[in-house]
Every structure is written in structure tokens, then in C-alpha cells.
Amino acid sequence: MIDIRPMLESDVPGVLAIERASFPDPWTEGLFRDELGREDRIWKVALEDGRLAGYGGVMIVDVEAHLMDVAVAPEARGRGIGRALLWELAADAVAAGALRMTLEVASSNETALRFYRSAGFDVAGRRPAYYPSGDDALLLWSRPLAPHVSAKRVALKRRDLILAIESSCDETAASVMRGGREELSSVVASQVDFHARFGGVVPEIASRKHTEAIVGVVDQALETAGVTFADLDAIAVTAGPGLVGALVVGLAYAKGVACSTGLPLIGVNHLEGHIYAARLLDPDLEPPLVALLVSGGHTMLVSVPEWGRYEVLGGTLDDAAGEAFDKVAKLLGLGYPGGPVISRLAAEGDPKAIPFPRPMLRTDDLDVSLSGLKTAVIQYVERERREGRELRLNDIAASFQAAVTEVQVAKTLKAVRAHDAKAVVLAGGVAANPVLRGSLRSALATEGVALSVPPLELCTDNASMIAAAAHDALRAGRFLGLDADANPAMRLGRGA
């Protein structure tokens, strides 16, 4: 629990210790004591569970609040205490008549710059060689304070509410999540019917449908959760990877909300979201994990040595697993998306009927290749048609599915052994496939490794998984500036 109250004389020794641990040329005891006696100053301390964790002060000069000092004890950093102090000072400054806040930051202090930018400050000027070190000072100004301050004060109550938005592909989704795990609402508007007639996602249609849907989807998520923007602590959004024209709709909307409410903005990697989906189902799930991420756009094996750290171990050299299902379904005239219909047909077929190839099954790496398998299916179908035989769709579906499954399971086992993983997370839309789930579960059981598969609605694209990942970013104080761009090629392990 964080408590913020005015600074007292008796706080000065503790404040000095944090000041000395934070700055190369710290303020002296005399300076602090002198400040506390002045009318035009506001000094506050933050207490975490009763212990001094940080402090900050402003000087009011007419309608300007000059931020003089903000520091957080080294062991208390990364928990949003600096931000909480900043907005408490802003609230008092507004009450004292200030309209904006300003401060100076050394141009080399990138951490501080990032912090103030994400809190809505813009660089307005530079004072060359202002510091004794020779560093320039950057002059930062906040946006007008009053409209932001009420929302920030509510955030201080630490309800831990995040609104997350997902628009990377063909679902417009929004979710409100408490404490990173408790889903208060999850709304998903799928555009799949608009893309179905084209046999795949059409990027321009996706962008336009997101633009139409996003306001209604977010309103519905807030309403179902019974909250308003003023109740939230942060707004999170998928920043990549995905279709750029689809990503920018969610990102621009989220920035608009962040800008008008003053809420901090969090960018989430979509792939990281898929991995976090497993934690929503299974709160005890702990790394080291291996994640098999199989969707329409991705197929990869990822090592997760701890939450927030990722190493991509391997992936598809050509088609994604879902894409292979979709292409084979299209070839067989089964419509889009192909995964569900193929797995339905396969249930009545013989997986051994046709010996489709298992590309790269025995290679030493953790990569897979699916386009050769797809070509083998095409050649088989052409030959059957040429020779006038009726296509046995159930057997083709079952044999194709068996080939995809066998390679995925073998490579996942290899990854588990190499990384000594204690659990495997299966994520992405292809995780809906019952044969893949079943084969993986029994293969892992022989190794004593658990398989965690989120329920279907959490496997396919949704915003709850984005909120779950955003919660760790909120606690670590990792925010996006309002000048952030979408990154369609964002990789796991960096960016976001």
C-alpha cells in the first residue's frame, strides 16, 4: 500500500539517504530544511507499507509549478511510486493555482526523460552546458494539468485496473482486467466473415473494420466491467507484430485516450500476450517454460526462463501452422478459416491413410517447414483428380493433420529437453486443434512435463492476454511515449 503525505522535518534524515543514493550532487540537509519553511513550496513523501520510499517537491511560481526534485529509494523503484508522487504534487499544484508543470532534466539522463515523456511531458527547449558536468539541460513542460489530475488521483487508490486493446489482425478486442489476472470484461468483435470470401485476411478491410468497431468495443468492455476511464490505472495496446494498418487503429485510439485522460500508455507485444494467456488460466504457472506459439501468422518455439524474458528457439521457415491449415482447406474448397473444418473432417478420417512427408522431423534445429507438406497435399489431390478418383476428404484431413502434429510435437520435446523446461504453454489459434493438444499432452507426460493450454477464447486473439502482459509492464513502470509508432515486425524479447 502506498501512502502519500506532506513532508515533515522528521522525514529529512530518510530523505537525505534516498537523495544521496539517487544523485551525483545531492541536496544538503540545510537546503531541505530551508525548503520546508517556505510558503510557495509543496513537498511530499511516499510511504510504502509505512516505510519512506520516495519524495518530491515543487515550487509554485504564479501559474507554473516548477518540479525541483523527485527521487525513489533504489529498492522501491519500478513500482510506479515516482509517478504517484508526480501526480500528487500536480494535484496540489493545481489547487494552488498552477496550470502546467515544468522541470529540467540532463540530456544524458535517458531514464528520467523516458519517465517524464510517458507522463505526458514534452521537450520545449535546451540550455547548453547547464550542468557542471557539461551536460545540456532539457526544459520539459507538461500539458495543461487540470483535466489530467482527477484521473491520476483515482489511480493512486491502486485498484490496478487496466483497459487493453488488441487490433493486430482481424479481431477488434478490448478487455478490463484487475490485478493482471481478474478479467472484468472481454469483448471480441471478429471480422472473419468479411474476410472469408477472400480466403484470408485482407489488410485494408481489416483496418476499416477496426476503425468502425473500436469505439463500440471499448465502450462495451468498460460498461460490462462497470468502470469508466477515470477508474483506470493504465491503457494498454498491442504495438506489434501484426498488420500495420490494423495495429495503428488500436494504437492511435489508445493514444487518444491516454492523451485526453492522462493515463499512462503501455505497449504490448502480441506474441508475449499469447504466452501470458496461459497464466490467466493457471496462476501457479511458473518459468522455466517453453511456449509453442501456433497461429495463422506465427509458428515458433520460445524459451521463457522468467516472465518477461524470451528466447526464440526456432520457428517456421515458410508457412505458419494455421496458414498451412487455411491453404489446404482452400485447396479442398472448404472455406476459411481452414483449421476448424479440417480438424472436424479429420475426426472421421484415418491419419495413416496417406503418407504425407514430415519435413525437418529429424533435423537438429528447432525449426519447421510447412510449405513442402502443403505442396505434397496439392500434388496428391491433383493426382487423385487426374486419375478420376473421388477425394477422401476425411483421410486427407486426418493425414495432413497428423503430419503437422508429429513435427510440432517432436520439436517441442526437443526444446523441452534442451532447456530443462518444467512446463509447456500451447498458444495461438491452432492450439484449438484437439489432436495437437492430445498428442502434445501425452508426449510431455512421459517426460513429466505439464502442458498448459488456455481455453479456446484465450488461445485465439483477445485483449485479456494483452492486459495480462501489460500488468507486469505497469508494475515495472515500462510505458510508451505518445509519439510511439506501431511495429509490424516487432520481435519477442525486444521492443514493446
Considering only residues 372 to 391 of the shown chain, the ones binding ligand KG4 according to CB under 6 A are: none
Please identify which residue in 428, 454, 477, 481 interacts with ligand KG4, judged by CB under 6 A. 428
Give alpha helix (H) positions in 319-463: 321-331, 338-346, 371-386, 393-419, 434-445, 456-459
Q: Which residues contact 462 (CB under 8 A, 6 or more apart)?
A: 166, 171, 173, 175, 186, 188, 277
What character string, x for contact with ligand KG4 (CB under 6 A) and - otherwise, covers 322-341?
A: x--xx----------xxxx-
DSSP single-letter state for residue 422: S
Residue 276 is a binding residue for ligand KG4 (CB under 6 A): no
| Parallel/antiparallel/unpaired status of strands 137-142 and 121-127 | antiparallel
Of 175 and 433, the one with the shorter C-beta distance to ligand KG4 is 433
By CB under 5 A, is residue 166 in contact with Zn ion?
no
Q: Which is nearer to ligand KG4, 269 or 343 (CB)?
A: 343
Q: How far is the CB of 475 from ligand KG4 (least distance, A)?
A: 27
- 3-state secondary structure (DSSP) of residue 423: strand
- Contact flag: residue 326 with Zn ion (CB under 5 A): no
- Compare residues 138 and 247 and give the one whose CB is closer to Zn ion: 247
DSSP output for 381-408: HHHHHHTTPPP-HHHHHHHHHHHHHHHH
Residue 221 Cα distances to 174, 226, 492, angstroms: 6, 9, 28
From the list ligand KG4, Zn ion, none, pick the one residue 433 interacts with, judged by a Cβ distance below 5 to 8 Å according to partner type: ligand KG4
* By the rule CB under 6 A, 433 interacts with ligand KG4: yes
Tell me the closest approach of the beta carbon of residue 271 to ligand KG4, in angstroms.
9
Q: Sign of torsion, CA 165 171 175 181?
A: negative
User: Smaller CB distance to ligand KG4: residue 138 or 201?
Assistant: 201
Residue 461 binds Zn ion (CB under 5 A): yes
Whichever of 1 and 489 has its CB closer to ligand KG4, that residue is 489
Judge whether 278 and 456 are in contact, CB under 8 Å. no
* Residues near ligand KG4 (CB under 6 A), total: 19
CB of 402 to ligand KG4, least distance (A): 12
Residue 178 Cβ vs Zn ion, minimum distance, rounded to whole Å: 23
| Cβ-based nearer residue to Zn ion, 233 or 461 | 461
How far apart are the C-alpha atoms of 446 and 450, rounded to whole Å?
A: 10
Residue among 261 and 401 whose Cβ is closer to ligand KG4: 401
Scan residues 227-266 and list those touching ligand KG4 (CB under 6 A): none
Q: For residue 214, give the nearest of 171, 274, 277 by alpha carbon.
A: 171
Judged by CB, which is closer to ligand KG4: 4, or 459? 459
- Rounded Cα distance, 264 and 293, in Å: 29
Q: Which stretch binds ligand KG4 (CB under 6 A): 117-125, 412-420, 425-433, 446-454?
A: 425-433
C-alpha cell at 305: 526462463
Q: Are 86 and 78 in contact (CB under 8 A)?
A: no
Q: Which does 432 bind (CB under 5 to 8 A by kind): ligand KG4, Zn ion, none?
A: ligand KG4
- SS3 state at 342: helix
Among 295, 401, 405, 408, binds Zn ion (CB under 5 A): 295
Segment holding 185, helix H or strand E:
strand 182-190
Q: Which of residues 162-191 bind ligand KG4 (CB under 6 A)?
A: 169
Question: What residues make contact with ligand KG4 under the rule CB under 6 A?
Answer: 169, 295-297, 322, 325-326, 337-340, 343, 428-430, 432-433, 460-461
